[in-house]
Structure formats: structure tokens, C-alpha cells
A and B are shown apart, each in its own frame.
Chain A
Amino acid sequence: MSTGSNSEATTDLTARLLRGEPAALARAITEVENETTEMSAILRATQPRLGKATIVGFTGAPGAGKSTLISAYIKVLRARDKTVGVVTVDPSSPFSRGAILGDRIRMAEHTTDLGVFVRSVAARGHLGGISRTTARIVDIFDAVGKDVVIVETVGAGQSEVAVAEIADIKVVVCAPGLGDDVQAIKAGLLEIADILVVNKHDLPSADTTIRSLKAMLDLRNNNRDAVQVLATVATTGVGVNELAETIESKCTMHRPTRSPRTRIRRVLAGIAGQIVETHLQDTDDSAIDAVCDAVQRGDLSFESAAQRLLAERLGR
């Protein structure tokens, strides 16, 4: 049993990971995904190697064709000799906490290609369209030298925009014929897009969707030129070369500088929040109970109570 006390095994795993062994990569992702005790050492070893990969996020409504489009995009990347890591997120059941991870079905043509490494993860109740550890899994792919790391969100509704924090380039995939749904996703999802793709362009209503997206962009005056609307048929590959070109040119033209400090702060905030949550919810501590009672009596506001607990119970 590999436990946190087995630091030799962790050192060995980290060494094999940095050598690029696929089995070690898979295992390291498991440790990070499950936030085991080995995670710390893995994250520490990978930090100095980050920042080389291009990170592309794909999001959009369920059934819009994200997985199929990603598969077609991977085909273009492989023809250009790029190595690819994929993190694909599917929802967890709110009842059983189980999940069906089925995005790989659409990526079947790459299943024996050693240049493509796909990992499916369950969202495990995390909101925002990705799992809590997705960003850290992306970092591991980056650290082992994947040229392009692709993140596929769960089928997204309006506010699943967390992928924007991770990805250099955000591709929002829209399906034609959703009519009002296009309007509905306007406020959240469409705003994070660097590229809007109308997939299933072989369907009759696709041009209407393209027109309404372009009309929506016309109403924006800030970054209209920056956002492009492309048409694809992922199942046949139509338009996918152009999508790949657009992603690449956006990256080289104005690749957003991913400051390590910003990224590290985000991870820190997540881990700190989790430490606080675990401590406040699960620790048997009469002082915390006393603060709870004070809140219940109305003697203390939630805000002051939280501040006090942070300073007194967690500041040690």
C-alpha cells in the first residue's frame, strides 16, 4: 500500500514522472485527482517545469460536439507532430456520487496513439464545469512536456466558466438549432470565448446560428475583432484545420501571459480553502463550538466569527 509515509515510493514516482513514463503520469494524475498525501511532492516537483504547453479549453452545451471536435482537432495536431494531453470532465451523480465517463468514445481513433494521453475525470460536485483538481492535472501534462493540453468541460450551461482561468485559448462550441438556447448562454459562456465554433454545420439551421452569434458580437464593442466565429463538421473534419490555425495564430499573436504567481495563487487559494473547510467542519474543538453558539445567540456576526476563527484557531 502506498501511503504518505512511503516517501521513497513518492520520490520514485516523481522521478519516473519527470522522465515521462506514461504509467507514472497516470499514477501521478490519480494522486493529484484524489488529493492524496503524495500530491504535495508531485506538485512541488512539477512547478519549475510549467508554462511551455499551449492550453486549449473546449466548452459548450451537452451534445454540441465537444468530444468529437476535440478528436478531430487532435488529428490535426498529430499530423503536425504535436504531443497532446487531454483532461475531459463529466458530471458526477448528485445522488450516488458515481459517474459515467464517456467522452473517450468520440476519441476512439487516437486510442492506440502514444502521442495522445487522455484522462477522464468526474466533476465530483465541483461547480464551474471542471473538477476541483483539473488545473493541477493540466499542470502535470504541461510539466511532462505535452505540446498541447486540451481541457473539455462538462456539458456547460450558463455559468460554467471556470475553464477560462486555466486555458490560454477558450473555444466555445455551439450546436445549431438551439435557438433560444443560444440566447440563454449569451451572458456567461459566450463572453469567455476566444473562438466560437458552430459545429454540425451540415445541419440546415447552422447559418442562422452563425448569424445570430455574429450579431451578438456586433453588439459588443470591446473585443469584437478578437472573437472569431468558425463553422465545423467535427464528424467529417470540415473546418477543423481552420480551427487549429486560428488557435495557433491567436496563441502566437497574443498569447496571454500566464504569470506563475497568478496560477500559484489560484492553487493556494483552493488548498487553503480546503484546509479551512476541513478544519472548521470536522475538528472536534470546543472553542469552535463556542463561536458557533455566539453566532446563534446573535452576539457575533458570521463575518467576525470567521475572522476570529481564522486568526485564533488556524493562525497557529
Chain B
Amino acid sequence: MESTSNRSQRPPKILITKIGLDGHDRGSRVIATQLRDAGMEVVYTGPWQEILAVVKLALEEDVDVIGISALATDHLLVPKLMDALRSADLAHVRVVVGGIVPPEDESALLMAGVSKVFHPGSSRDEIVSDMNRLASEARSR
């Protein structure tokens, strides 16, 4: 008699947050809501998080994917976040960035370990399916 569920059956756990000084959080709320509607459990923080706070939060919540919403150059802080995650032994956590990221910056983010950059016009289905895939990747650490 099997009373326990398989780890892969649990809903993806996602952190949606913003680092840096930009306070435009509407986009992050829209995404958080859409992921909720796609059956995910979304920890939502609102803007102005410190990098170390995001790392501690990701650790405590044991999230699979971190989504950073960046509309005003805050994506430039993401490589620092990637370093901090690695130092905290959280390299398995997948990181995506969504918002305004100039094409010339995208490769630098991917080089730093970001799994995916979502630009304006990304469809809901694309985002949901990528998040599902990344969550199960993170979980098979």
C-alpha cells in the first residue's frame, strides 16, 4: 500500500521577485497570477529585494525556479545573484529573467547561468511550459 506521493507529482514551486531599485511590479504580479492559474505554487515578494534575501528565501522555501522581473536595467544584477546562489549551494535552482533585456545583454545572462530570458510578447503557454520543464529539471538534482 503506497501512502506517499512521488516527489515529481508536487506542484512546481516558483519564486517571483524583483531585485534592484525598480518598483514596477505589475508584470511580476501578472506572471505570478498566471503561474498560479497553471497550478503552480508561487512565492511572491514584491520589489526591492536584496540579493542575499533572495538567496535565503529560495533556500528556505526550497523553490525550483526563481523568476526575476527586470524592467529597468536590474537584469544587470542577475549575474551577482547567480554567484550568490552557487555559493549557497543552490546551483540546482533554475533562474529565469523576464522583462526588458536588450539583446546584447541576453547572452551575458545565459553565460552567467540563467536558463531563459523572456522578452515582451512571450506567450503565457510558452512561459508555463518552460517553467514546468525547468522545475522538473531542478527537482531531479
Q: Write out the residue numbers on chain A whose beta carbons fall within 8 Å of the beta carbon of B89.
A: 23
User: Is A34 in the interface zone, CB < 8 Å from B?
Assistant: yes
Interface pair B44/A101, CB less than 8 Å apart: yes
**Residue interface mask B4-30, A partner, CB < 8 A = 1:** 111101110000000000000000000
Interface contact tally, CB-CB below 8 A: 104
Q: Which residues of A sit under 8 angstroms from B76, Cβ to Cβ? A: none
Q: Provided the pairs A100-B32, A100-B33, A112-B52 are in contact, do residues A4 and B41 lie with their beta carbons within 8 angstroms? A: no
A27 at the interface (CB under 8 A from B): yes
**Known contacts A99-B42, A102-B44: A39-B4 contact under CB 8 Å:** yes
Main secondary structure of the interface of A (DSSP, over half): mixed
The interface bits of chain A over 117-161 (1 if a CB of B lies within 8 angstroms of the residue's CB, else 0) are 111101000000000000000000000000000000000000000
Knowing A26-B62, A120-B61 touch, does A35 contact B5 (C-beta < 8 A)? yes
Q: A29-B62, A112-B56 are in contact. Are A279 and B1 (CB under 8 A)?
A: yes
| Contact, CB under 8 Å: A100 / B36 | yes
- Asked if B115 CB lies within 8 Å of chain A CBs, one says no
Q: How many residues of B are in contact with the other chain, CB < 8 A?
A: 39
**Bound state CA distance, A278 and B38, in angstroms?**
25
> Taking CB as reference atom, which chain B residue is nearest A4?
B4
Chain B residues with CB under 8 Å of A259's CB are none
Q: In the complex, which residues of chain A have a beta carbon less than 8 angstroms from the beta carbon of B60?
A: 22, 26, 117-119
CB-based contact A105/B41 at 8 Å:
no
B61 to chain A, nearest CB (A): 6
Closest to A101 in B: B43
Using a CB–CB cutoff of 8 Å, the interface residues on chain B facing chain A are: 1-7, 9-11, 32-33, 35-46, 49-50, 52-53, 56-57, 59-62, 88-90, 140-141
* 12 further contact pairs, Cβ within 8 A, besides A98-B41, A99-B41: A1-B140, A4-B4, A26-B60, A33-B10, A34-B5, A93-B37, A96-B36, A100-B36, A101-B42, A102-B43, A278-B3, A279-B1
